[in-house]
Amino acid sequence: MAFYYPEPSRTFSEYLLIPGYTSEECRPDNVSLKTPLVKFKKGEEPSLSLNIPLVSAVMQSVSNDSMAVSLAKEGGVAFVYCSQTIENQAAMVAKAKSYKAGFVVSDSTLRPEYTLADVLSILNKTGHSTMPVTEDGNPNGKLVGIVTSRDYRVSRMQKDVKVSEFMTPADQLITAPKSTTLKQANDIIWEHKLNALPIVDDNGCLVSFVFRKDYSSHKDNPRELLDPDKRYTVGAGINTLDYEERVPALVEAGADVLCIDSSEGYTVWQKRTIEFIRGKYGESVKVGAGNVVDKEGFLFLAEAGADFVKVGIGGGSICITREQKGIGRGQATSLIEVAAARDEYFEKTGVYIPICSDGGIVLDYHMTLALAMGADFLMLGRYFARFDESPTKKLNINGTYVKEYWGEGSNRARNWQRYDVGGDDDLSFEEGVDSYVVYAGTLQDNVAKSLYIVKSTMCNCGVMSIPQLQDEAKITMVSATSIVEGGYHDVTLRSTNTTV
């Protein structure tokens, strides 16, 4: 006879936090959100930690190199999606890793015969106004000039005028040799009042740029997450099929941490993937695994050697796994059980394995609840897909700005590797949908607001760190009537449409 759980599985909206004593010192500015990203032994510090408990999902519509840079600036980590060629994914990782080093490879390179129309098209696509001009249009081709917004006026020029006619030619540019250090490059920028300094090799070929705006980046982003070489920390997704080729390429590109991207992690395929990584790299390459929803799944991946474990099946806003397959579990119930298993494993072995809550976060207060229930950090897809920094298009639908957002199990993504169970290499049915999310602006502004709410709630609970929240939080289940009571009720809302 099948085993039946005596209690229903529950979601975050079915719980509330009970306030605790708030001392004078317990203010949002004093709250620390630092949290471990990978496993560590009792009495030791983890080799990788997050400054904020947020990572972005391994999804085409969420995590590319731009998201990796933007999220690392805020103190989190993006996992660059793996449903693309190994070469393309490795290039994204390498690009993100090179960004913080100060030497930026251009993604907006022109050829001399390009036109102003091409310049405007690239500007609209990348948002980058400084564009090098090389003989062959290659980012590392022979530099012949540069185009910036100061070189043209759209209202006074024809769109078919060639780049060679209005660019600033190379012989009028201040450049620096390939051997230039970042400090030397910044000194040249300040001495000559430049916005950008091209770095060229002995043959006059463009190597990279150093930008004035990056000089003050650390002051503007005090929580930024850096590796020992002062580069941004970057994650990358892998699957359980081509890992023998993909993992070495990602490690070579500089990925700091890997994550097996799969809808279900309690499988022999994940164990084999981790065993390959441990056999080839030992403990030097960090890899998370999942997803699981119970104690048995967590212990399986812990014993397999996972550096962190993702929790959650079917709770994502674009995920229809529960509808299609009838498998999964309420996110809150899953997290509570796995957190207890994590703590029990720590007491038994002295090894702390962080858990990541993946899915089910709809409102900002769900973040705090997930952390209180034991999550060390949260993986978010829909949340990050709404921002400027996600790789999808911003569209105007019926007067509302939206961004495209689709699941890895949708026909659009066709990421059948994520749902591999040892069968044919095809997506037999969908486990995700293709959708829109309402556009929300910049990542920095929204993350700052969300985390202020988290910190403020933690202060209401009388705690000043995530471990303290997990130890001291008091959580109550609420009835359906209580949920209704928690929102506005018995009133008529006034119109909030105002002109600013």
Strand partners, 432: 319
216 membership: H or E segment, kind and range: none
Q: What is the pLDDT of residues 396-414, one digit of tens each?
A: 998 999 998 887 666 665 5
Burial class (CB in 10 A: 0-12, 13-18, 19+), 234: buried
495 secondary structure, DSSP code: P
Q: What is the pLDDT of residues 227-258, one digit of tens each?
A: 988 889 999 999 999 999 999 999 999 999 99
Q: What is the mean pLDDT of residues 200-221?
A: 84
Question: The pTM is what?
Answer: 0.80
Q: What is the pLDDT of residues 102-132, one digit of tens each?
A: 788 888 999 999 999 999 999 887 778 899 9
Answer with the residue of higher pLDDT: 433 or 388: 388
Q: What is the mean pLDDT of the chain?
A: 90
Give me the DSSP letters along 130-156: -EEEESSS-TTSBEEEEE-GGG--GGG
- Please check the confidence at residue 262 and state whether its pLDDT lies above 50: yes
- Please check the confidence at residue 165 and state whether its pLDDT lies above 60: yes
Per-residue confidence (pLDDT) for residue 103, from 0 to 100: 82
196 membership: H or E segment, kind and range: strand 196-200
pLDDT level of residue 270 (50, 70, 90 thresholds): very high
Per-residue confidence (pLDDT) for residue 101, from 0 to 100: 66
Per-residue confidence (pLDDT) for residue 127, from 0 to 100: 78
Q: What is the pLDDT of residues 66-85, one digit of tens each?
A: 999 999 999 999 999 999 99
Q: What is the mean pLDDT of residues 428-447?
A: 81
pLDDT level of residue 416 (50, 70, 90 thresholds): very low
Give me the DSSP letters along 340-409: HHHHHHHHHHSEE--EEEES---SHHHHHHHHHTT-SEEEESHHHHTBTTSSSPEEEETTEEEEEEE-TT
Q: What is the pLDDT of residues 321-339, one digit of tens each?
A: 666 777 889 999 999 999 9
- Please check the confidence at residue 147 and state whether its pLDDT lies above 70: yes
Rg (CA), the chain: 25
CA distance 204 to 9: 64
- Please check the confidence at residue 428 and state whether its pLDDT lies above 70: no
Of 12, 53, 37, 63, residue with least CA distance to 384? 63
State percent of the chain over pLDDT 70.
91
Active site (catalytic) residues = 319, 418
- Please check the confidence at residue 473 and state whether its pLDDT lies above 60: yes
Of 32, 84, 34, residue with least CA distance to 58? 84
Is the Cα dihedral 461, 466, 472, 475 positive or negative? positive
pLDDT level of residue 486 (50, 70, 90 thresholds): confident
Is the Cα dihedral 353, 310, 285, 426 positive or negative? positive
CA distance 475 to 477: 7
Of 211, 252, 228, 224, residue with least CA distance to 86? 252
pLDDT level of residue 216 (50, 70, 90 thresholds): low
Contacts 24+ apart (CB under 8 A), 20-27: 20/460, 20/461, 20/462, 20/463, 20/472, 20/474, 21/462, 22/459, 22/460, 22/462, 23/462, 25/464, 26/459, 26/462, 26/463, 26/464, 27/459
